[in-house]
Amino acid sequence: MENSENGGVEPKQKNKGKHRKPKPWDDDPNIDRWKIEKFDPSWNEGGMLEVTSFSTLFPQYREKYLQEAWPIVKSALKEYGISCELNLVEGSMTVSTTRKTKDPYIVVKARDLIKLLSRSVPAPQAIKVLNDEMQCDIIKISNLVRNKERFIKRRQRLMGPNSSTLKALEILTGCYILIQGNTVSAMGSFKPLKQVRKIVEDCMQNVMHPIFHIKILMVRKELEKDPTLAHESWDRFLPKFKKKNINQNKVKRKEKRPYTPYPPPPQPSKIDIQLQTGEYFLNDKVKSAKKWQERQEKQTEKTAENKRKREAAFIPPKEPVVQDTKSDDGGKDLAAMAISLKKKAKEYGRQNSAENVNAEAYIAESGEPSKKKSKRKHS
């Protein structure tokens, strides 16, 4: 502490980074600090001092496949000095370090390998996780959705028809994705794995459909080709999707009854009903006789109903009655035709008689008076 001119006390400043000395490779532009260098066994010639082991369980349906593929897994791990064991009795796989193990991180990679094998990833694909550039992520999706039907529906949405959505995600992210049961296994580099986790969680939580994520990834892939947009924000180019609220059928709630401090009246019991009807005081014989009579009545009603049903099959259906309206009209038409024909015959006869009249005979007849008229005159 130092005393100032005003008599105050000033705190002593700490020299930050006093042990930090400039290194010759700090300003070297040829060094890529993000590059993961391959492990060199010369960095750890002494090997591992302690034994580290990891074990995981596997489902019963994977037992047969693991037995067949275990020699491939064993030979792949032997190159890195890792020992592995397959226990079929307990249903577990174990990996552990040995004296030949040089890379201290390879045991963690071996742990990821057996986890992927237990989640139904094929052995040739799972062995790739031992490379330094390859990472894996096992996403648990069972706890994101409670309803089983909704869970199956959203998991199928993530896969798509004929796994088309899953294939599109694999192409755009460059990751291997496998959906098995309650987990999604993904293999790739760090950044694509982060994208895959985001897509899976958004799909299972119904935040965004995987198709919209695919559209965004396609736009990003095109924007990466343009070097002028490397230092600009891409938000103006990315599509924005708004969630539409679909009108769902609301559940009708029961109206609340008005509150009353008094409880509802008690319902009468069987004994109370028997006391009211008088059955309670009857003898057992009378009760049994009454029950038997009721049973007989029900039985007769039932038999009559069954008989009615059986006989209904033999009753012929009523035939539709066709009313012959043409008969009356036909009779009227015939009568009218007969009257008209008589009239025409009379007219035709008169015309013929007028045409065939003899003039001399007509004059002679007209001159002689008729006998009927003369008789009337004499009388």
- What is the model's pLDDT at position 24? 75
Is 59 contained in some domain?
Answer: yes
Domain co-membership, 167 together with 83:
no
Do 126 and 153 lie in a common domain?
Answer: no
Residues 169 and 204 in one domain: yes
Which among 132, 160, 181 is the end of a domain? 132
- Determine contact, residues 62/120, Cβ cutoff 8 Å: yes
Q: Please tell me whether residues 109 and 65 are part of one structural domain.
A: yes
Same domain flag for 183 and 279:
no
Q: For residue 199, what pLDDT is reported?
A: 95
Last residue of a domain, one of 109, 132, 155: 132
255, part of any domain: no
CA–CA separation, 56 and 118 (whole Å) = 8
285: containing domain: 268-296
Mean pLDDT for the stretch of residues 136-164: 93
User: Which region among 69-73, 123-127, 231-235, 370-374 has the lowest average model confidence (pLDDT)?
Assistant: 370-374
pTM of the model: 0.57
Q: To the nearest whole percent, how much of the chain has pLDDT over 70?
A: 83
In a domain, 310, yes or no: no
Quick one: pLDDT at residue 17? 67
Residue 357 pLDDT: 54
pLDDT at site 305: 93
CATH number at residue 141: 3.30.1370.10
Q: Are 155 and 204 in contact (CB under 8 A)?
A: yes
SS3 content of the chain, % helix, strand, coil (to 5): 50, 10, 40
| Same-domain check for residues 51 and 108 | yes
Asked if 183 and 228 sit in the same domain, the reply is yes
150 and 119 together in one domain: no
Residue 330 resides in a domain: no
Question: Is residue 75 in a domain?
Answer: yes
* pLDDT value for 363: 53
Residue 370 maps to a domain: no
User: Do 137 and 122 share a structural domain?
Assistant: no
Span 261-284, average pLDDT = 87
Residues 155 and 120 in one domain: no
Residues 122 and 178 in one domain: no
Q: Where are the alpha helices (DSSP H) in the chain?
A: 63-78, 106-118, 123-126, 148-159, 164-173, 190-204, 210-224, 270-277, 284-312, 326-355, 359-367, 371-378
pLDDT at residue 277, as a whole number = 85
User: Tokens 């130092």 — which residue?
Assistant: 2
Q: How many domains does the chain have?
A: 3
- The whole-chain average pLDDT of the chain stands at 84
212 assigned to some structural domain: yes
Q: Largest Cα–Cα distance of the chain, in whole Å?
A: 192
Domain end: 82, 111, 132, which one?
132
pLDDT tens, 186-225?
A: 999 999 999 999 999 999 998 899 999 999 999 998 888 8
120 vs 371, residue with greater confidence: 120
Q: Does residue 7 carry a pLDDT above 80?
A: no
**Distance between CA 66 and CA 123 in Å, rounded?**
8
| pLDDT 10s digits, 332-373 | 677 888 888 888 888 877 776 666 655 555 555 555 554 444
pLDDT in tens, 65-107: 999 999 999 999 999 999 999 999 999 999 999 999 999 999 9
Q: How confident is the model at residue 377 (pLDDT cuts 50, 70, 90)?
A: very low
Percent of the chain's residues with pLDDT above 90: 48
Please report which confidence band the pLDDT of residue 259 belongs to, taking 50, 70 and 90 as the band edges.
confident
Q: Are residues 155 and 68 in the same domain?
A: no
Give how far Cα 85 sits from Cα of 64, 101, 114, 123, 184, Å.
15, 16, 10, 15, 25
Specify if 23 maps to a domain. no
More confident residue, 296 or 232: 296
**For residue 74, what pLDDT is reported?**
95
